Amino acid sequence: MTGIGQLVAPPLRAHRHGERSAASIVFLIALWGAMAFAVLSLMVLLVDSFLDGSARLDVELFTKYTSQVLPERAGARAAILGSAFVIAVTAILAIPLGIAAGVYLEEFADNSRWYNKLIEVNISNLAAVPAIIYGMLTAGFALAIGLERRVVLAGGIALALLILPVVIIATREAVRAVPREIRHGSLALGATPLQTVWRQTLPGAVPGIATGSILALSRALGEAAPLLLLGGLVFVNYDPDGLMSGFTTLPIQIFNWASQPQRAFQEVASAAIILMLVLLLIMNALAIVIRNRYQNRW
């Protein structure tokens, strides 16, 4: 027979196994260190950009075009307007398409069919394709249909392709969060499945879709890689005036300035970085506000 003493032995030794053991403390310090490294990197990055660029945060940044001769007075006017044009095209293309695809996959697709499974796997793979590949796709597509590569429309298409999987995934999650009872109620009252989606499910999912779409657009705003493939977006000294106009964007302009040897270009690049980060901050804040204020609690 086993004595009670054998069951509790060996006695617990707090100094070796407790929360205060040496190994535990070292482990916790390492975890704090990891967190601190991430936070510190962000702080240093922000402070460094601000110190470099604050001198050039002036009116000329907004009103002047870039200049090879006078880097001290170069501005990002064409890039700011170009970014606005391209993001508008991206939003018009990617958001309706993404919502339509997301709603179809979540509400109507029969998941046991091979083609719907294929679409699902495909979308998660597309989300992991390097951004620069979307630029090559757009360049090839533009060549095939005879569209000029370096225009606003091509830029918008490239960025729309890039964020389409993100919008689809966000839509699916938002639609999935709408409880089934709402759909059942609507169907029971005689609405068709499509009426149910249009009048009940989608309105309930709007805050989630809006948040996801704004975050996707903020990613598009900061992305330069796919646009590089459209060629020659470097020294643009005019405002974009339509879909078929040449353009440059903020991240492309920053990339170009940062590649120049002159110190003055480096300063205007970091001023443009500050401007872009402020824009992104506003978009992210907007997304968070929408999520917190309008998110339906079921």
Cα–Cα distances in angstroms (integers) from residue 122 to residues 111, 137, 201, in the given order: 14, 16, 25
Q: Go through 86-123 and write b for each residue having 16 or more CB atoms within 10 A of its CB, e for each that does not.
A: bbebbbebbbeebbebbbbbbbebeeeeeeeeeeeeeb
Token readout for 32 is 């704090």
Nearest distance, CB of residue 64 and another protein, angstroms: 20
DSSP H or E run through 56: none
Q: Using CB under 8 A, pick the residue from 87, 161, 216, 275 that binds another protein.
A: 161
Token readout for 224 is 């330069």
Distance CA 99, CA 159 (A): 16
Is position 251 an interface residue for another protein (rule: CB under 8 A)?
A: yes
Is position 84 an interface residue for another protein (rule: CB under 8 A)?
A: no
Q: Which residues contact 107 (CB under 8 A, 6 or more apart)?
A: 175, 193, 197, 201
Please report, as a single letter, which amino acid is at residue 274: I
* Cβ-based nearer residue to another protein, 184 or 241: 184
Is position 24 an interface residue for another protein (rule: CB under 8 A)?
A: yes
Signed CA dihedral, 232, 240, 76, 70: sign only: positive
Nearest distance, CB of residue 264 and another protein, angstroms: 13
Nearest distance, CB of residue 128 and another protein, angstroms: 5
Nearest distance, CB of residue 71 and another protein, angstroms: 15
Is position 140 an interface residue for another protein (rule: CB under 8 A)?
A: yes
DSSP codes joined into one string, 78-136: HHHHHHHHHHHHHHHHHHHHHHHHHHIIIII--TTSHHHHHHHHHHHHHTTS-HHHHHH
Is position 86 an interface residue for another protein (rule: CB under 8 A)?
A: no
Q: Which of residues 195-234 bind another protein (CB under 8 A)?
A: 196, 215, 218-219, 221-225, 228-229, 231-232, 234
Q: Using CB under 8 A, pick the residue from 8, 128, 145, 146 that binds another protein.
A: 128
Nearest distance, CB of residue 61 and another protein, angstroms: 16
Q: Using CB under 8 A, pick the residue from 75, 183, 216, 268 that binds another protein.
A: 183
Q: Using CB under 8 A, pick the residue from 80, 82, 106, 213 that binds another protein.
A: 106
Q: Pick the piece of the chain touching another protein (CB under 8 A) from 1-9, 67-75, 120-128, 206-214.
A: 120-128
* Cβ-based nearer residue to another protein, 1 or 22: 22
Other Cβ atoms closer than 10 A to 214: 21
* Cβ-based nearer residue to another protein, 143 or 241: 143
Helix, strand or coil, per DSSP, at residue 151: strand
Q: Pick the piece of the chain touching another protein (CB under 8 A) from 1-9, 26-34, 65-73, 205-213.
A: 26-34
* Residue corresponding to tokens 């078929």: 244
Is position 92 an interface residue for another protein (rule: CB under 8 A)?
A: no
